[in-house]
Copies of this chain bind each other. A is one copy, B any other.
């Protein structure tokens, strides 16, 4: 069996250094990075793969978001003494860089020049979140689907349709209807 990391673009020597520093983790498809109810002490940066964030409310799965290559995953309730309200589950074999609060403090001390990059990253995340939230709020499910196709075209092929439906806030039957309607246009 080929090793998962063979599928990333990173040079093998970098992978080895990351692994030795315990900041690289590999997960098989279907496995969970975080469980609802656990404490969340880590953040992730996805090198390869696809992760779904979802919660179970009233016995029903509700998809919060999907993350792929070069996405940063900051769990809800990260670093707080509150049980996680959501799962992080790998939709594909996934490789992540792991960080935590101690690590962040150490890195920002050692590399003060990274502070600005980190602040820029935070601002981009805020921007992205605000825009996503706004679009979600002001759109119908059909519009949400069209946005999704436009903005994350590669993702549609990678995730099960029932998960996409739950992300859009509709039942799988409604998503099929939306797709039919759009293909008839």
Interface set of A (CB-CB < 8 Å, partner B): 55, 57, 62, 64, 74, 76, 78, 85-86, 115, 118-119, 122-123, 125-127, 129-134, 136-138, 169
Does A131 contact B62, Cβ atoms closer than 8 Å?
Answer: no
Query: A119 CA to B117 CA in the complex, in Å?
Result: 11
> Smallest CB-CB separation from A53: which chain B residue?
B134
A115: which B residues are within 8 A, CB to CB?
A: 115, 119
The answer for the CA separation of A64 and B136 in the assembled complex, in Å, is: 10
Q: Is the CB–CB distance between A74 and B129 below 8 Å? A: no
The reply to whether A76 and B127 form a contact with Cβ atoms under 8 Å apart is: yes
> CA A62 – CA B136 in complex, angstroms?
11
- Given A122-B126, A129-B130, 7 additional A-B pairs, CB 8 A: A64-B134, A64-B137, A74-B127, A76-B127, A115-B119, A125-B126, A129-B129
A115 to B131, CA, bound (A): 25
Kindly list chain B residues whose C-beta atoms are within 8 Å of the C-beta of A126.
74, 122, 125-126, 129
Is B57 within 8 A of A130, CB to CB?
no
Give the docked Cα–Cα distance between A78 and B127 (Å): 8
Taking a contact as CB atoms under 8 Å apart, the answer to whether B76 and A134 are in contact is: yes
**Nearest B residue (CB) for A55:** B138
Q: Does A136 lie within 8 Å of B133, measured CB to CB?
A: yes
A-B contact pairs, 13 of them (CB 8 A): A62-B137, A62-B138, A64-B134, A74-B126, A76-B130, A76-B131, A86-B134, A115-B119, A118-B119, A119-B119, A122-B126, A136-B136, A136-B137
Q: Which 7 A-B pairs have the closest CB atoms?
A: A122-B122, A62-B138, A129-B129, A133-B133, A64-B134, A76-B130, A57-B138
